Amino acid sequence: MRIAIYGAGAVGGLVAARLACAGHEVSAVARGATLDALRSRGLRLVSAGGEARVRLPASDDPAELGPQELVVVAVKAPALVHVARDIGPLLGPDTVVLTAMNGVPWWFFDRFGGRWAGTRLDSVDPGGAIAAGIPSRHVVGCVVHLACAVPEPGFVCHTAGNRLIVGEPGGEASQRLARLAATLRGAGFDVDVSRRIQADVWYKLWGNMTMNPVSALTGATCDRILDDPQVYRFCLDVMGEAARIGAAIGCPISESGEDRMAVTRKLGAFKTSMLQDVEAGRAVELDALVSAVREIGARVGEPTPRIDTLLGLARLHARVRGLYPA
């Protein structure tokens, strides 16, 4: 299969290396030091199974790579507007775009069904530029349940997990979805096919929409957040609001916040991706993780006082550091 990876960071780099090792024709859209590393040294992947080094075409201009059968978008949410502007040359009539990203995506309510079908979220796609550049007919959703690190550009360490959940936004069991799942399994991933990918997106969001911004605000690893009684209670209250919003839109969560926090505790003293972004001076993914939940809450009439507080503090913290638009 002819495949382009848009964003060869942690997750994108892992997917690129695995697919290339499985024999697919893989290329990458990258920038800066990552592009330089891919061109000069190739992509290096280290995991429990050993080490792999692959050479693949890389460019900062998608037109140089041409139309693909599959495009894996694995960038941070703030970069999506730029991806949507430039991705066109990679898209043919039948190209699948797999969105391997955190938070609420722009296509969340497309083909959703029911009262909220087709709802547009200004918090994640103001003006509709992303939807215009990446039409939802191309999209297959993906929820990533694994962990990687990038010690240096072009070098990916796979540290934990191996699970990908994929699904059509409309829930159908399509031929392209079956082919995609088989392709990812052939590259060594544990793949689940979902009939309600939005519910899987919401579940992951429910678990990480507190740890990420609280860690970014405080500089604390997750164990210290969970050890503070007041912060722990605040996080549970935020999760409660998000769970009620999820139930209102058809993405209910049966697990308790306490049980989900117990899972997080087992991961130990780790830094969230948002804290790592703050420390590196990179833009933060607040809108996809928090602003979108607040916007959906307003639309369904669910009060969000704790989410409002979390968003306000985290947004101001990021703005002061130049990591969120003024």
Which active-site residues does the annotation give?
204
Can you say how many angstroms the Cα of residue 162 is from the centroid of all Cα atoms in its chain?
15
Q: What are phi and psi of 266, to 5 degrees?
A: -65, -20
Cβ-Cβ contacts under 8 Å for 323 (sequence gap 6 or more): 277, 278, 281, 282, 283, 284
What are the C-alpha distances in Å from 10 to residues 74, 155, 216? 9, 8, 19
Structure tokens at 257: 């916040």
How buried is 176 (Cβ within 10 angstroms: 0-12 exposed, 13-18 middle, 19+ buried)? middle
- Angle, helices 229-249 vs 211-218, to 10°: value is 150
